[in-house]
């Protein structure tokens, strides 16, 4: 395994990577393959759920555990990434995570019943939890500070584009082959990534670090209860259900005990200097906002385009892919502008642009074509790309190298929680606002408001009248659903606007700080 420098050119002593590697470009490709494989799996399986339901003999309520088990496993496992990386080594944990993810994916594809699928998805979620934080930490470690912005641009493109491409690839595989190929597709990608990582990923020193079992147990229980609450809340009518009250009580109690342990324990799960870092904590809040705006938005748009506008799965994916083009452009620009523009200004500008795109979406109508969707998606991609890269740079700017893996795990965890919270809120608002709007619109369906049909006399026409009433009700529902989607876009716009003042709490990245090298 080579650890020699990749170039003989003199490197300024203040601008060296934590770990110097040979073939940095190839290693970057390997890291990104593993990252994209994992990110794709967060959305690629969603479109195949109806096909799994019939194949596995599951009901609509039980098949959702295919998604829930993956989310809960990831939330429970992510906080242990830093400790495991220190204990067994970053290289070993990365290889185990990639190999385990591929094996679990193959097992998911071969599952014969719902119980097996849930079990294998839980295992897949555990291995997936390590890939995001480890990939981000590796990208920072193998690049000098002067290239961190570019490295985070590359990493961010995979993180942000993966959820967009997942439904496209999942829909194409499901329609042309079988839902099992949604999981089998991970085999070639995973094997290539594993081989390259085995050959190029350097060995990092391990260090002894006590594990806070009580703190982790409380955090894991609290996160699992929160994910269950968010996933099942809408179906159980939220706090009208005893189950939701129990999950909420467990969540609050466990997370409160975790916070007390973090503040008073001798060996907390995360270092107190990490939790006390202003830039990092502010970055965590922003990650929640990104999760709500980016991932909740992506959960809303595919069903909206398919149900209300009649687009097939592939066309829906292609329309939404324009958002990815905006992300790629803005991330590439952000990586270059960071050396001359204050990162805080870029984050604020990105949030303003994202807010404007959501304002555009709040003016959509059922009479529009795909043009407004393409334009607002591209604008939103530009905004989120400007936010993501500078935010990651500033979040790590005041952290020491020893805290990178722990920091990356918390940032990934809060982004995932933000996505879960956002999806749960917008889904609940969508259902309730649809009912309210349906009632409001229905009040105005009278003989004077309809030219050709008198609703009060349709019962005279027997079956034909019933069909006409069904058409009327379907159109009212369609209009009500569009109003409910617009309400969700307004909600996300205000969430983004409220987050803008948090930029003032960020401190600019320190330039010229010398990294600590292994063995020194």
Contact in structure between 42 and 167 (CB atoms under 8 Å): no
Q: Which domain holds residue 263?
A: 212-268
DSSP designation for 294: I
pLDDT at 14 over 80: no
Residues 184 and 253 in one domain: no
What does the pLDDT read at residue 446? 60
- Out of 169, 191, 209, a domain closes at 209
508 pLDDT tier (thresholds 50, 70, 90): low
Contact in structure between 401 and 18 (CB atoms under 8 Å): yes
The CATH number of residue 90's host domain is 1.20.1250.20
Query: How buried is 365 (Cβ within 10 angstroms: 0-12 exposed, 13-18 middle, 19+ buried)?
Result: exposed
Residues 252 and 284 in one domain: no
Sign of CA dihedral 178, 180, 186, 187: negative
The Cα–Cα gap between 519 and 514 comes to 15
Residues 205 and 216 in one domain: no
pLDDT at 8 over 50: no
What does the pLDDT read at residue 96? 93
Residues 319 and 205 in one domain: no
pLDDT at 68 over 90: no
5 pLDDT tier (thresholds 50, 70, 90): very low
Query: How buried is 281 (Cβ within 10 angstroms: 0-12 exposed, 13-18 middle, 19+ buried)?
Result: middle
Mean pLDDT of 436-452: 66
The Cα–Cα gap between 301 and 166 comes to 13
Alpha carbon distance, N-terminus to C-terminus of the chain: 20
What does the pLDDT read at residue 463? 54
What does the pLDDT read at residue 252? 92
Residues with Cβ within 8 Å of 359's Cβ and at least 6 positions away in sequence, in order, are 493
Q: What integer best gives the mean pLDDT of the chain?
A: 79
pLDDT at 93 over 80: yes
> Does some domain include residue 162?
yes
3-class DSSP assignment, residue 416: helix
Residues with Cβ within 8 Å of 363's Cβ and at least 6 positions away in sequence, in order, are 372, 486
Q: In 3D, which of 257, 218, 236, 41 has the Cα closest to residue 128?
A: 41
Q: What is the pLDDT of residues 151-181, one digit of tens each?
A: 777 787 777 777 777 777 777 787 788 888 8
Prediction pTM value: 0.75
Residues 231 and 284 in one domain: no
Q: What is the pLDDT of residues 98-143, one digit of tens each?
A: 999 999 999 988 888 888 888 998 899 899 989 888 888 888 888 8
3-class DSSP assignment, residue 450: coil
Cα R_g (the chain), whole angstroms? 24
Residues in the chain: 520
Residues 107 and 220 in one domain: no
DSSP designation for 160: H
The Cα–Cα gap between 431 and 215 comes to 37
Residues with Cβ within 8 Å of 87's Cβ and at least 6 positions away in sequence, in order, are 206, 208, 209, 211
> Does some domain include residue 8?
no
In terms of phi and psi (left: phi > 0; alpha: psi -120 to 50; beta: otherwise), the region of 506 is beta
3-state helix, strand, coil in the chain (%, to 5): 75, 0, 25
What does the pLDDT read at residue 360? 92
Residues 487 and 398 in one domain: yes
Side-chain half-sphere exposure of 292, counting CA atoms within 13 A: 26
C-alpha distance from residue 64 to each of 53, 114, 220, 237 (Å): 9, 10, 21, 16
Domains: count for the chain: 3
The Cα–Cα gap between 121 and 124 comes to 5
> Does some domain include residue 13?
no
> Does some domain include residue 472?
yes
Residues 221 and 183 in one domain: no
The Cα–Cα gap between 189 and 39 comes to 13
C-alpha distance from residue 34 to each of 7, 17, 71, 133 (Å): 26, 22, 18, 12
Residues 252 and 295 in one domain: no
Q: How many CB atoms lie within 10 A of CB 75?
A: 22
Q: What is the pLDDT of residues 228-284, one digit of tens each?
A: 888 777 777 788 888 889 989 999 999 898 888 888 878 787 777 777 777 788 888
Residues 143 and 166 in one domain: yes
The Cα–Cα gap between 445 and 480 comes to 13
């Amino acid at each position: 395994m080579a650890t020699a420098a990749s170039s003989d050119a003199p490197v300024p002593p203040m601008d060296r990577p934590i770990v110097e590697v040979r073939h940095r470009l190839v290693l970057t490709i390997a890291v990104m393959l593993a990252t994209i494989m994992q990110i794709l799996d967060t959305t690629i399986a969603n479109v195949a759920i109806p096909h799994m339901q019939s194949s596995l003999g599951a009901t609509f309520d039980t098949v959702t555990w295919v998604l829930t088990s993956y989310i809960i496993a990831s939330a429970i496992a992510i906080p242990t990434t830093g400790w495991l990386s220190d204990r067994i080594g970053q290289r070993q944990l990365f290889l185990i995570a990639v190999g385990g993810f591929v094996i679990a994916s193959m097992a998911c594809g071969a599952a014969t019943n719902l119980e097996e699928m849930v079990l294998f998805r839980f295992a897949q979620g555990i291995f997936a939890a390590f890939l995001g934080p480890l990939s981000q930490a590796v990208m920072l470690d193998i690049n000098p500070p002067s290239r961190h912005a570019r490295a985070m641009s590359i990493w961010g493109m995979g993180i942000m584009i993966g959820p967009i491409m997942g439904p496209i690839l999942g829909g194409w595989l499901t329609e042309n082959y079988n839902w099992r190929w949604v999981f089998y597709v991970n085999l070639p990608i995973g094997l290539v990534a594993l081989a390259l990582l085995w050959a190029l990923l350097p060995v990092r020193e391990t260090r002894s670090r006590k594990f806070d079992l009580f703190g982790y147990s409380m955090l894991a229980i609290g996160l699992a209860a929160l994910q269950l609450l968010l996933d099942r809340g809408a179906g159980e009518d939220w706090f009208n259900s005893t189950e939701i009250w129990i999950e909420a009580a467990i969540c609050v109690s466990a997370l409160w005990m975790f916070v007390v342990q973090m503040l008073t324990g001798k060996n907390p799960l995360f270092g107190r200097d990490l939790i006390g870092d202003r830039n990092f904590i502010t970055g965590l809040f922003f990650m929640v906002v990104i999760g709500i705006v980016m991932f909740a938005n992506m959960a809303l748009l595919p069903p909206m385009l398919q149900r209300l506008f009649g687009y097939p799965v592939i066309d829906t994916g292609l329309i939404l892919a324009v958002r990815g083009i905006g992300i790629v452009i803005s991330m590439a620009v952000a990586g270059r502008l960071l050396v001359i523009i204050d990162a805080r200004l870029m984050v604020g500008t990105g949030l303003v642009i994202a807010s404007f795109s959501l304002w555009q979406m709040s003016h959509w109508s059922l009479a529009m074509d795909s043009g407004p969707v393409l334009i607002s998606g591209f604008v939103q991609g530009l905004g989120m790309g400007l936010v993501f890269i500078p935010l990651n740079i500033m979040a790590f700017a005041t952290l020491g190298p020893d805290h990178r893996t722990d920091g990356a795990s918390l940032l990934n965890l809060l982004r995932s929680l933000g996505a879960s919270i956002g999806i749960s809120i917008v889904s609940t608002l969508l259902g309730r606002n649809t009912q309210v709007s349906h009632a409001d619109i229905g009040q105005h369906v009278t003989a004077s408001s309809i030219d050709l049909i008198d609703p009060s006399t349709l019962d005279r026409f027997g079956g034909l009248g019933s069909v006409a009433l069904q058409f009327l009700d379907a159109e009212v529902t369609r209009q009500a659903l569009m109003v409910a989607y617009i309400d969700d876009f307004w909600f996300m716009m205000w969430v983004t606007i409220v987050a803008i003042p948090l930029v003032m709490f960020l401190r600019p990245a320190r330039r010229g700080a010398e990294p600590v090298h292994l063995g020194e």
